[in-house]
Structure 1
């Protein structure tokens, strides 16, 4: 398929609970992506167990080719029964996106899915059927670029109930808010995080229910190339820089030595940028033909810190640690989170004596540890990552 399926989810626990009663499960197969949001009865440990079982069973069985009837039947007969309510209950929503662009959605008692196309809510046609006493709603359609699918647990719809809002945040209000977000936000993560942030504020930081948002955005692939550290063999400099410059997509260079190599090989001037000074992050620089030039290990470490903070569902989007600042780490974090779907890392294996004893093995290199941590974070965000050592 010519599109990239950008998937993100955020959750906050009911106030006072250590475990979330909602569970998100994502599975990839050769021909599709299966996304499940399950909401267990109640909250805490029991709800977490119910939701986890439901999500795992649904995603695994559908991936292996089971029908929805077989899957629902298995869920009903597997869930433990609550001694108080005499119920074994978990609501769920399943999104199955096939490689040809077809989408199959199954909804069971969760709030109706929000489907946005051309920045407007679309009411997709649904077929209802009863499977072992559970009302299942099914819908099918073909996706196109820019489509946004958002699934929420009922903690989103109930946000603010009895507090800021008498009746909670109704479905139509959430839909209107998501329409605005779809116009402003480029990435799925920004949409899911913004919605969860709003719910947290409506609950006045004391959520009355587990609250989860899963967002899927259909995007065109965007490639980001990051070159950091000089190549192990200086004779490879011309070849590596030529390959880097000929690569498709935006280009970022991290590290003073790497920047000097690139500037020298492409015949452009390296100019330090002193327009913005941050006491925690070294200044950026400029090379014609390069989208961003930053310092190396310190900036990469700060970038990792900012991305970790941003990925936390409880953190606010706009804070002093925001990715929307002018320092090198913020600019790089923003590119990684919002402006790309595929990332190619070009990592030089030359050891910088300023960072460590050169007699130490390579796997102890500070630079490589930071890069590997950044790669892991990008994979958690659903990016397609390539790591090439030079």
Structure 2
């Protein structure tokens, strides 16, 4: 069964603190919906309108509401610019039903939607639907593993508009050429969208430019990562929970030395340390038969959170591997032991709130925002 993996990057218009382009993602094991919208203008007003548009479209399409009803609701909600006579936000939605292996793409006044297969551009067979006297473009395709859907706002396609090099903007043809070259050089989709947004920012240099957002959906086999952090609250359940964790499909990660010792005791297997990964800040990572990665606990998770939240750029070896595994996964299952280590308590909070719980919650929220299926089980 195929699943969708999403990556996106965006930039604000120069002088604006908020991006007027928005993205919203909803998914479970069998369905995926993503919407991207560009609010007219920039700043807070554009952000509110594009966020409203993506939230309505994604929620309704994910829940199977017919396209004409979805757009009737959106068009009735969005105001119309009195000067230009156009809606205050455009929209592109990508919906994938895994049971049917069917991808639907819906576009309303949207500038750039590109479908790639085997590193080549595939022409979508679009048909037009009229809703409230507005033209809605609709296409369907049966995806294959490795297919990519690139969606980007006009902050990318119109980057550099008015400059000597790009008087009419960077343009869709240049975007296609850029993506094709990068794919031929085996650059991964995440780095491609990062590059496109950085390129738009570079081309806009000397101008105010515009908000820009680029996203890519990759069709791939569902990949699951299971992470066990912290000892269970009830020691009598150690064996039951360890055995349950080991039966999970997908990759397995253990965070915390005490937790690793519990697995050693129950499974009667030894943790093999990788001394090459030792640093002043972190103990070495480890592996165990049946377990893909074993790391230190709270400090490693703190660095993982800071990296995912954009607070730091570099990671030690173990934290870097953990981040890569989480970002590559489509589904992340957290098993969080309730046993509280007094050394990990924040004195500003009450005794029953653990830093560990806060970290896991915050990491889980970031992963959800990045389109991951996240499950939390406390034990």
Give the TM interval when normalised to the shorter protein.
Answer: 0.7 to 0.9
User: How many residue pairs are counted as aligned between the two chains?
Assistant: 375
Aligned to 1:141: 141
Distance in 2, Cα, partners of 1:273 & 1:30: 34
Per the TM alignment, residue 163 of structure 1 is displaced from its structure 2 partner at its CA by 5.2
Distance in 2, Cα, partners of 1:59 & 1:347: 30
Inter-CA distance 112–366: structure 2 relative to 1 (3 Å threshold): closer
SS at match of 1:291: strand
Contact 2:25 2:371 in 1 (8 A): no
Task: Name which of 314, 317, 322 aligns with 1:327.
Answer: 317
Moved more, 22-31 or 38-47: 22-31
Contact 1:268 1:287 in 2 (8 A): yes
Aligned pairs for 1:110-121 within 5 A:
110-121=110-121
Contact 1:14 1:206 in 2 (8 A): no
Per the TM alignment, residue 237 of structure 1 is displaced from its structure 2 partner at its CA by 3.0
Distance in 2, Cα, partners of 1:303 & 1:141: 37
Distance in 2, Cα, partners of 1:51 & 1:152: 14
Please report the TM-score for the alignment, with normalisation by the length of structure 2. Answer: 0.84
Per the TM alignment, residue 369 of structure 1 is displaced from its structure 2 partner at its CA by 1.9
1:379 has 2:368 as partner: yes
Unaligned runs of 5+ in 1: 311-319
Contact 1:346 1:388 in 2 (8 A): yes
Distance in 2, Cα, partners of 1:350 & 1:147: 44
Contact 1:282 1:298 in 2 (8 A): no
Distance in 2, Cα, partners of 1:77 & 1:356: 50
1:256 has 2:224 as partner: no
Per the TM alignment, residue 294 of structure 1 is displaced from its structure 2 partner at its CA by 0.8
CA RMSD in angstroms comes to 3.4
Unaligned runs of 5+ in 2: none
Contact 1:363 1:369 in 2 (8 A): no
Distance in 2, Cα, partners of 1:368 & 1:127: 49
Aligned to 2:302: 301
Per the TM alignment, residue 75 of structure 1 is displaced from its structure 2 partner at its CA by 4.7
Moved more, 141-150 or 293-302: 141-150
Please report the TM-score for the alignment, with normalisation by the length of structure 1. Answer: 0.82
Moved more, 207-216 or 121-130: 121-130
Aligned to 1:36: 35
Per the TM alignment, residue 335 of structure 1 is displaced from its structure 2 partner at its CA by 0.8
Distance in 2, Cα, partners of 1:29 & 1:303: 24
Aligned to 1:349: 338
Aligned to 1:193: 194
Moved more, 341-350 or 290-299: 341-350
